[in-house]
Amino acid sequence: MQESQALLRLQEIDIELMRLNGQLKAMPQQKKLAAIVAAKKNLAGKLKTIVGQRKDAEIDLEDNEAAHEKTVNRINEVQAEAAERGQDFRGIRDLEAHLTALAKQLEKIEFKHTELEANLEKLMKAEQNARDLDARLDAEHAAQQESFDRSSANIMASVRQLAVERKAVLANISDEVAQTYAKAAKRFGGLAVERLRGNMPTTCRVKLQQGIFGELMRGPIITECPYCHRMLVTEGALADE
């Protein structure tokens, strides 16, 4: 295959690949898959926050229970010391005041314990709900992916076939021309190459002046359009006049 013909075929392949990729992106499963991925990302951030809060709540509850145990032990110690030594009136009054203070402290700890337990339970429930939702999203993602793979099988087969042909076509194109084509394809949205039919390029369709036309015909087969600056294949132009 001549380089000029390979270049034109390369553009045909790439335009067809663009069309097929457009069909793939437009499939409803793709939108659903993208929405699921976004939902999982958002959920992952929320779950991380919930897990952090749940761990903090567990630590707070453990600290509360430790304080409860310490206070109960202290009450028992004070009562035991009083029973061993005996107390005068003043001592008994001080003891009662001490025990009253400890009892109030214990009451606050127990009240706080109820709050902490409720908070931990709420966070554990929120975490489980988030994990259940994540599992449902995974199942939905798998179902949508399976549906997409099934519906896009023919398109993907065409994409693979064109990719194989593209590689073979590129083997007939020099690195310099291939690089020029890649830049032009990016610049012109895929329409990088045009042919010269008579004295008119097929894409920009601006008639060439006689002098410019003659100069192009004396030059290389693969050149550049003087007007739109796409790659221009002049081969066969005279036959089309």
Number of domains in the chain: 2
Q: Assess if residue 59 is contained within a domain.
A: yes
pLDDT of 36-46, one tens digit each?
999 999 999 99
Q: Are residues 83 and 126 in the same domain?
A: yes
The full DSSP string for 116-170 is HHHHHHHHHHHHHHHHHHHHHHHHHHHHHHHHHHHHTHHHHHHHHHHHHHHHHHH
pLDDT tens digits, 8-55? 999 999 999 999 999 999 999 999 999 999 999 999 999 999 999 999
Domain that residue 136 falls in = 28-151
Same domain flag for 183 and 135? no
DSSP per residue, 205-228: --PPPHHHHHHHHHS-SEEE-TTT
Any domain includes 3:
no
User: 144 and 60 share a domain?
Assistant: yes
Same domain for 128 and 187, yes or no, is no
Question: Would you say residue 167 lies in a domain?
Answer: no
For residues 134 and 194, membership in a common domain is answered with no
Residue 135 lies in a domain: yes
Are 104 and 199 part of one and the same domain? no
Is position 5 within any domain?
no
Res. 214: pLDDT tops 70: yes
